[in-house]
Amino acid sequence: MAKEKYKFNPESLKYDKIDHTLRDKLFSFLTFFSASIVIAVIYYLVFSHFVDLPKERILKREVNKLSLQYEILNKQLDHVSHVLGDIQTRDDNIYRVIFNADPIPQSIRTAGFGGVNRYTELEGYENSDIIIETSRRLDILKKQLYVQSTSYDEITDLAINKEDMLASIPSIQPVAIKDLRRIAGYYGMRMHPIYKIRMHHSGMDFTAPRGTDVYSTGNGVVSRVVKSRSRRDYGTFIEIDHGYGYQTLYAHLDEVLVRRGQEVKRGDVIGLVGNTGASTAPHLHYEVKRNGRAIDPINYYYGDISPEEFDAMIQMSMQGGSFMGY
């Protein structure tokens, strides 16, 4: 209980007792209460900004520790990305080259994640940037690893079927050298013998007597047979699907000796040289296609000609010359 207070009275030279009204007491209480609140707020602000509580210190240590771990993780991701990049380079330039497979497009290997934001639940925190970036890099690495895993599955299948692939890829001349009079046309831009304009010649022309055997240049299945005596286009021709992306075409035939859907082996006689279609003399027009696109057949005769003969063919191909048919 508060003690009684007195006030000196100079007139009576005595101490008079001070009587406080209710208003004075209320005012005094509010003043004290307000001052206490102000002091408490000041203490709170000072301690909250400059002095960490024990739990806050523990949490800050945890946050710093996590940040350090994320930095270490990102360095490890850099190393993993470098190793994966080396594996991808070897896959495209060594393994797939050995098995004659097309490299995986870079757009597929490095494809990102479009559409909605996948990391909204990670936003709004003090270290959201590093967490989101790490999560994004992990997602990209997982996708690249999946693509690489799929690629190795394909390479494994190619390795298992290597013997069949080698037997299927075109690798001999469709007309035997002993029956060949000359090569009358090479792949590339040439003067058309009928239309008298420069046109792209998508194959090679082998001049030989009518009725000369035409050989399948690799194992495969006859995918198309057209028997025509028309003086246009290929005339009578055969297409063979060798698998592994390869097809061959044999045109201007005099006779077809196989049927559609028939399996053939390299060296099987499939037709006879003729003069059908847009042709000026008996010869075989021969094409090699890979993934539906005509390519130069000159690179697929390593099975039955010498290096000297191959070099001579290259020189003749570079010199140009007309071809004998469509």
CATH of residue 277's domain is 2.70.70.10
97 falls within a domain: yes
pLDDT tens digits for range 77-131? 888 888 888 888 888 888 887 777 788 888 787 766 555 567 777 676 667 778 7
325 falls within a domain: no
Of 195, 180, 189, 197, nearest in space to 319 by CA: 189
Query: Residue 184 and residue 275: Cα distance in Å, rounded?
Result: 14
Determine phi and psi for 175, rounding to 5 degrees.
-125, 130
pLDDT tens digits for range 233-266? 889 999 999 998 899 999 999 999 999 999 999 9
171 falls within a domain: no
And the tokens for 89? Answer: 């380079």
Same domain, 95 and 71: yes
- Residue matched to tokens 């990209």: 140
Same domain, 136 and 246: no
Same domain, 193 and 135: no
- Looking at the DSSP bridge assignments, the partners of residue 206 are 183, 284
167 falls within a domain: no
- DSSP for 78-94 reads HHHHHHHHHHHHHIIII
pLDDT top residue among 46 and 154:
154
pLDDT tens digits for range 288-307? 999 899 998 888 876 555 55
239 falls within a domain: yes
Residue type, 251: A
Asked if pLDDT for residue 1 goes beyond 50, the answer is no
- pLDDT over 90 percentage in the chain: 22
Query: Residue 191 and residue 260: Cα distance in Å, rounded?
Result: 33
Same domain, 187 and 310: yes
Query: Residue 2 and residue 33: Cα distance in Å, rounded?
Result: 16
Same domain, 233 and 297: yes
Out of 49, 67, 84, pick the residue that ends a domain.
Answer: 49
Same domain, 92 and 182: no
Same domain, 101 and 194: no
Rg (CA), the chain: 44
Output the CA torsion sign for 220, 221, 224, 228. positive
The number of distinct structural domains making up the chain is: 3
Identify the pLDDT of residue 304.
59
111 falls within a domain: yes
pLDDT tens digits for range 31-82? 888 888 888 888 777 776 666 667 767 777 777 777 788 788 888 888 888 8
Helix (H) or strand (E) segment spanning residue 189: strand 188-191
Same domain, 271 and 206: yes
Domain range for residue 246? 177-319
249 falls within a domain: yes
Same domain, 155 and 189: no
Cβ partners under 8 Å of residue 121, min gap 6? none
Query: Residue 29 and residue 283: Cα distance in Å, rounded?
Result: 120
218 falls within a domain: yes
